[in-house]
Homo-oligomer: A and B are copies of this chain.
Amino acid sequence: MSDATKHVVIVGGGFAGLNAAKKLGGRAGVRVTLVDRQNYHLFQPLLYQVAMAGLSPADIATPIRSVLARCQNVSVLQGSVERVDLQARTVSADFGRLEYDYLLLCCGSIPSYFGHREWEEHAPSLKTIPQATEIRRRLLSAFEEAERTEDPDLRRQLLTFVVIGGGPTGVELAGAIGEMSRFTLARDFRNIDTRLTQVILIESGPRILSMFSEQQAARAARDLEKLGVQVRPNTPATSIDEQEVHADHERIRSSTVLWAAGVRGVEVDGLLGQHGQHGPHGQDDRESDRGDRVMTDRGGRVIVNEDLSIPGHPNVFVAGDQACFTHQTGAPLPGTAPVAMQQGRFVAETIRRDLAGKPREAFRFVDKGQMATIGRSRAIVEIGRLRFSGWFAWVAWLVVHIYFLVGFKNRLLVVLHWAWSYVTFRRGARLIVEREWRFGNEKAK
């Protein structure tokens, strides 16, 4: 490769990073290194199905290497990025240091417990495959333990599930638990009636699905209630432990609590300087106000320029959940897959324009609508002013999700799993897999 070849380092193989790498793949004048802590790209929108035992992890995850195998100018390295040096233009990872000409950070978001990290133990979130399989383990184990116990109070506690957070993920989880307990599991147990399972969806705000219209959200709430889910708005959780949730002066005894209430952008050392500067909420004013300070919003997301670069560093971009982009509507764009995909492609295009000597443009998100699903064969869809719900919305939801899933085989498999579950009311991946692989707990001497 010529000396003029520019090295683009992409940190993160999610929707933004993968789309940027694909768009830069095969292009002359650039070589790309994509670094991710995982060896796979995860299709997050279907992760709740892994937690709910409907799909296997491999159905919604694809090795990043495979996706990019044909892009000869793209290398993939599995590793963890520890630090960025904006002055030296280097990225330090656990395997060594990379120099870059362009840097795209798209490390995504992590769950936020609003200062209560001790809650995570009792209320796992749903961002990664191990978290999804852990949720699956807890959910299914609760039914198993309820079948074994003779104590009616413990049984009631085991058959009470609390989902915290009324966004799309919370709604999907609560709906799936309701559906599973009423249909899938009903005839498998002898000592318990799984149809008596309680599912409680608590939301601190005035209603669930706040990004949807009131009418659609009300429709979703009704659908949830048909699946036995109690929807409780205006109910912030104030404490969580192994046995119960305190929410709005009520104690809900529950062995299985799931967290879907909030995320924050992943922090990368070096990006904000040694002390970290915060936006409207930060107090650190030691550096002069040159207008090129890198700042984050309250959710830890990096406030980016119109072209997704960061102030003072036109060769460094942040995209996806890690970015806070407010130039379009004043409000930050949501942390969704469509935003990340479009931003990833936009950054690749911006680099291409740079190399071609063309001026940069501003990023514009093209909103193609939003959708959420509520248990078996119900969904709500909003595309601009077009709103619909019910079975037809669910089919639309399914088609869109399968269309965007990466890999032909994954699409085929997911269609198959769904068709199967739809016809039989079963779930294909109801495995409780222990975390330990050694046989040390055996009696082998």
Residues of chain A whose beta carbon lies under 8 Å from any beta carbon of chain B: 38-40, 56-59, 61, 63, 65-66, 69, 75-79, 95-96, 110-112, 117, 120-121, 124-125, 127-131, 133-134, 140-141, 144, 147-150, 187-191, 264, 266-269, 300, 409, 412-413, 416, 420, 426, 428-439, 442-445
Q: Are B444 and A129 in contact (CB under 8 A)?
A: no
- Of all chain B residues, which has the CB nearest A124? B437
Residues from chain B with a CB closer than 8 A to the CB of A111 are 439
Q: Are B95 and A148 in contact (CB under 8 A)?
A: yes
Q: Are A432 and B188 in contact (CB under 8 A)?
A: no
Q: Are B187 and A432 in contact (CB under 8 A)?
A: no
Q: Are B431 and A79 in contact (CB under 8 A)?
A: no
Could you tell me the distance in whole angstroms from the C-beta of A112 to the nearest C-beta in chain B? Answer: 7
Q: Are A144 and B433 in contact (CB under 8 A)?
A: no
Given A63-B188, A438-B120, answer yes or no on A420-B429 (Cβ-Cβ < 8 Å). Answer: no
Could you tell me the distance in whole angstroms from the C-beta of A418 to the nearest C-beta in chain B? Answer: 12
Q: Are A78 and B148 in contact (CB under 8 A)?
A: yes
- 16 A-B residue pairings within 8 Å (CB atoms): A39-B431, A58-B430, A63-B188, A63-B431, A65-B189, A78-B144, A78-B148, A110-B442, A128-B439, A130-B433, A131-B439, A133-B437, A266-B444, A409-B420, A409-B428, A413-B428
Q: Are B59 and A432 in contact (CB under 8 A)?
A: no
- Of all chain B residues, which has the CB nearest A53? B58
Q: Are A442 and B147 in contact (CB under 8 A)?
A: no
Residues from chain B with a CB closer than 8 A to the CB of A39 are 140, 144, 430-432
Residues from chain B with a CB closer than 8 A to the CB of A120 are 438-439
Could you tell me the distance in whole angstroms from the C-beta of A81 to the nearest C-beta in chain B? Answer: 10
Q: Are B443 and A267 in contact (CB under 8 A)?
A: yes
Give the most central of A58, A95, A269, A444: most B CB within 10 Å.
A58
What are the 9 tightest A-B residue pairs by CB atom distance, in nearest-first order?
A56-B56, A58-B429, A130-B437, A134-B437, A65-B188, A78-B144, A95-B148, A63-B430, A56-B58
Could you tell me the distance in whole angstroms from the C-beta of A406 to the nearest C-beta in chain B? Answer: 12
Q: Are A188 and B58 in contact (CB under 8 A)?
A: no
Residues from chain B with a CB closer than 8 A to the CB of A188 are 63, 65-66, 69
Given the complex of chains A and B, what is the CA–CA distance between A119 and B61 in angstroms? Answer: 32
Q: Are A191 and B75 in contact (CB under 8 A)?
A: yes
Select which of B78, B95, B96, B426 is within 8 A of A432 by beta carbon.
B78
- Of all chain B residues, which has the CB nearest A125? B439
Residues from chain B with a CB closer than 8 A to the CB of A134 are 437
Q: Are B431 and A129 in contact (CB under 8 A)?
A: yes
Given the complex of chains A and B, what is the CA–CA distance between A409 and B133 in angstroms? Answer: 21
- Of all chain B residues, which has the CB nearest A133? B437
Select which of B40, B95, B267, B409 is within 8 A of A431 by beta carbon.
B40
Residues from chain B with a CB closer than 8 A to the CB of A426 are 66, 409
Residues from chain B with a CB closer than 8 A to the CB of A117 are 444
Residues from chain B with a CB closer than 8 A to the CB of A264 are 444
Residues from chain B with a CB closer than 8 A to the CB of A431 are 38-40, 57-58, 61, 63, 129
Q: Are A442 and B266 in contact (CB under 8 A)?
A: yes
Given the complex of chains A and B, what is the CA–CA distance between A343 and B58 in angstroms? Answer: 35
Could you tell me the distance in whole angstroms from the C-beta of A414 to the nearest C-beta in chain B? Answer: 11
* Given A38-B431, A58-B429, A77-B147, 18 more pairs with CB closer than 8 A: A40-B430, A40-B431, A56-B58, A57-B431, A63-B188, A65-B188, A66-B426, A78-B144, A95-B149, A111-B439, A121-B438, A128-B439, A129-B431, A130-B435, A409-B428, A413-B413, A435-B435, A435-B437
Residues from chain B with a CB closer than 8 A to the CB of A443 are 266-269
Residues from chain B with a CB closer than 8 A to the CB of A141 are 78
Q: Are A110 and B190 in contact (CB under 8 A)?
A: no
- Of all chain B residues, which has the CB nearest A127? B439
Q: Are B140 and A110 in contact (CB under 8 A)?
A: no
Could you tell me the distance in whole angstroms from the C-beta of A82 to the nearest C-beta in chain B? Answer: 9
Could you tell me the distance in whole angstroms from the C-beta of A120 to the nearest C-beta in chain B? Answer: 6
